[in-house]
Amino acid sequence: MRKKIVAGNWKMNNDQRETAELIAALKSIRFSTKTRVMIAPAFTQLQQAVALTEGTRLEVLAQNMNAATNGAFTGEISAPMLNSIGIQNVILGHSERRAYYNETDDSLKSKVDTALLHDMEVVFCFGEELNERKSAIHFDVVKRQLEKALFHLDSGQWSNIILAYEPVWAIGTGETATPDQAQEIHAYVRDLIASKYESSLANSISILYGGSVKPANAAAIFSQNDVDGGLIGGAALQAEDFKAIIQSA
């Protein structure tokens, strides 16, 4: 049985004081044992977040990492560095990183391989841009993103992969995919995995939806058969909103 997952991507928000305040508020949230809740603070706050969430069911994940394990990559952070402070999960392929930092299907494939080599769980983001949906090539785009970055993995490696469908036109825009639009892509992705691997594997993969999820729309989206929770941006910065979203899962 797939667990529901609600992951908050804090992006470049929350300094030390704000991190402490938000985590203090999140710690009082009660949620089902069938749900996993994750938060992704900026690199500088990861160690603090790990310490503050110790003994709770809140999981801390990184927003990014480098494909190399060490070396002359000024300003970068490696998987072993993350492991050394207790981080075992990482978001890869977020559309902001694809758009502003030139991350490509090929570079993401390398990052995925490195993360898995270091026993990390990957929340892999994919999704089409607005012009791609308008041109009705969104299924092709999603297929390409998954095939190029993930379909070289063997079945066993998929146990450390969580997918997050994030249509770029819905991220931070206030425009959300309808529950039907989310379900349509999630079901398509599950079928794609089943045809490349097998149905039991496809059915075991959590596929999250991300893109302007708010307390008012979370339940309708999360109730879709193939939607296993959400990757939340803006609403994850407000404890009350994040709580309502978690409790909708």
E strand or H helix that includes residue 116: helix 105-117
| Closest distance of CB 54 from ligand PEP, Å | 26
State the amino acid at position 56 in one-letter form.
Answer: T
Position 9 contacts ligand PEP (CB under 6 A): yes
Position 166 contacts ligand PEP (CB under 6 A): yes
Between CA 192 and CA 204 the distance in angstroms is 13
Is residue 166 annotated as a catalytic residue, yes or no?
yes
Beta strand 161-165 with 207-210 is parallel
User: Nearer to ligand PEP by C-beta: 229 or 233?
Assistant: 233
User: Nearer to ligand PEP by C-beta: 89 or 202?
Assistant: 89
How far, CA to CA in Å, does 64 sit from each of 56, 170, 235?
23, 21, 20
Between CA 78 and CA 64 the distance in angstroms is 9
Is residue 175 annotated as a catalytic residue, yes or no?
no
- Footprint of ligand PEP on residues 131-150 (CB under 6 A)? none
123: three-class secondary structure by DSSP? strand
User: Nearer to ligand PEP by C-beta: 94 or 202?
Assistant: 94
In this chain, which of 212, 217, 224, 248 binds ligand PEP, going by CB under 6 A?
Answer: 212
CB 80 within 8 A of CB 118: yes
As annotated, the active-site residues are 94, 166
Interaction site with ligand PEP (CB under 6 A): 9, 166, 171-172, 210-213, 231-235
